[in-house]
Structure 1
């Protein structure tokens, strides 16, 4: 897959809640700087972390609004709409940056306002 395909698949799988397949998009030695979770190194570490996602969110959608691809890099502005298992709603604009090599995400970071995520940070 090229960079555009990987990025498109990233959002398709996230929105389908297919977290194991989503994790497979990342390189085994990937690094992610996730604004809420911190630095996550390694695909299997990410996979373990994502196992808790369904116990946090009853519904989750991350819809791309604008995608820019330049070779093996991409930036995506998106909007998250989510509902926690306790019923709290989350609405947040996000910017993700990706580096992709040989069809796998080697690095990713996200930037967003953390205030909308307070319901999951305090529970």
Structure 2
């Protein structure tokens, strides 16, 4: 499966809050690094991260642009509340091996009515 096709499936699973389908798209030793937090290592830890995040917030990914370059997919997204971000996905053998994401965490927390960091 091409990197673009993998990320198209990822977006579908994300928008359905289907953590099992999301986790299945990652390699067993994958790393998900959202730059606003420490990297999460391993498929099961990534799955657990999504379980926590979907329990805390109503998240939707609206694709603005989706590009593919070799083993990489680049996703520019927005959500219904106006938050924007981008993600870089290294896809090897049809599985996400590495993901890095960029978004404004403070805006996300404010929009979702979640507690703001005190530091």
Deviation at 1:74, TM superposition (A): 1.2
Question: Does the Cα contact within 8 Å between 2:36 and 2:102 map onto a contact in 1?
Answer: no
Counterpart position of 2:77 = 78
Counterpart position of 1:15 = 15
Matched, 1:63 2:72: no
Rounded Cα–Cα distance in structure 1 between residues aligned with 2:78 and 2:44: 26
- Of residues 70-79 and 99-108 in structure 1, the stretch that sits farther from structure 2 once superposed is 70-79
- Which of 107, 116, 120 aligns to 2:107? It is 116
Question: Does the Cα contact within 8 Å between 1:98 and 1:105 map onto a contact in 2?
Answer: yes
Higher strand proportion: 1
1:40-91 C-alpha deviation (Å, 9 max, x unpaired) = 000011112222233212x32111111110111011111023xxxxxxxx53
Alpha-carbon distance change, 65 to 28 in structure 1, aligned in 2, over 3 angstroms: same
Q: How many residues align?
A: 114
Rounded Cα–Cα distance in structure 2 between residues aligned with 1:22 and 1:103: 13
* 3-state SS of 1:108 partner: strand
Structure 1 runs not aligned, ≥5 long = 82-89
TM (norm. structure 1) is 0.83
1:102-121 C-alpha deviation (Å, 9 max, x unpaired) = 00000000111222123335
Question: Does the Cα contact within 8 Å between 2:67 and 2:73 map onto a contact in 1?
Answer: yes
Counterpart position of 2:31 = 31
Rounded Cα–Cα distance in structure 2 between residues aligned with 1:36 and 1:23: 20
